[in-house]
Amino acid sequence: MPTKQELYDLAEEHGVDVPDGATKADIEEALSAAGVNVEGNDEDGDTAATDAPAAPGDPALFDPQSLAEAQSGTVNDPATRSDAEAEIVPAPAVGAQASETSTAPAGGDVEVALLPADDNAGEWHAPLNVEDWVVLDGSHDEVPDRLDGHIAYVVQSHSVPAPDSQGGPNSAQALDEDAPVTVRTRDEADALLVLPLSAIKEVGRGGRNALLPHG
């Protein structure tokens, strides 16, 4: 059964007047008189607000691939950032803006998941820490075949001062991509490995990603 506050919200949504100091029963009676069924559907067959499914959460966390595909061909797609004049599709769920319907090339941020892997000159990776994990590549000489696809957790990695585009000092740290990374599996193998980055298929930051294989 909905709470009194939920009934108030439902009455407001359907434009039902509720007198001050009304009890829960009074609100239910007013909604019923207006043809709103608080248990499920109203008389028009529409699902009541109290039966609406919960929001699925941030799609960037729960379904990043679908989110990236939805941005393809829009102003958020780096492929649309060219000197050629063309009308560009607005981003999903965003009304067309003057800047988006202009024939000039689009500007601003893009969906990073759509960036070509070989078009990231000047970018650097944040250092790995003990909360991060990797997927091992069994095709590499340093990884036993039986550990191919297994997940291992970072024990130690190395960092270097991040490059600065202006040529000045930079206090930020970047992953030392030339240094080995020490990792350990948390499975029956309990393997401790010191590997180059080339022996790693994927890197996971923080929490585990269910889309990647489990060790």
Last residue of a domain, one of 51, 67, 89: 51
Q: How many helices (H) and strands (E) does the chain have?
A: 4, 7
Question: At 162, is the pLDDT very low, low, confident or very high (cuts 50, 70, 90)?
Answer: confident
pLDDT in tens, 9-55: 887 787 888 877 788 888 888 888 777 777 654 444 444 444 444 45
**Which of 5-9, 54-58, 120-124, 198-202 is most confident?**
198-202
Question: At 81, is the pLDDT very low, low, confident or very high (cuts 50, 70, 90)?
Answer: low
Contacts of 136 (CB under 8 A, 6+ apart): 143, 147, 148, 149, 150, 151, 152, 183, 185, 193, 195, 199, 200, 201
Contacts of 54 (CB under 8 A, 6+ apart): none
Distance between CA 39 and CA 50 in Å, rounded?
8
| Predicted pLDDT at 51 | 45
Closest CA to 147 of 94, 99, 95, 193: 193
Q: Containing domain of residue 144, as a range?
A: 133-204
Mean residue pLDDT across the chain? 73
pLDDT in tens, 98-153: 555 555 455 566 666 666 666 566 677 889 988 899 999 999 999 999 999 999 99
Domain membership of residue 84 (yes or no) is no
Domain membership of residue 105 (yes or no) is no
Distance between CA 8 and CA 21 in Å, rounded?
11
Domain membership of residue 150 (yes or no) is yes
Domain membership of residue 197 (yes or no) is yes
Task: Find out whether 154 and 133 touch, Cβ atoms under 8 Å.
Answer: yes
Last residue of a domain, one of 15, 31, 51: 51
Q: 23-27, 68-72, 73-77, 82-86: which range is least confident on average?
A: 82-86
Last residue of a domain, one of 17, 32, 51: 51
- pTM here is 0.44
Structural domain tally of the chain?
Answer: 2
Structure tokens at 170: 């930079």
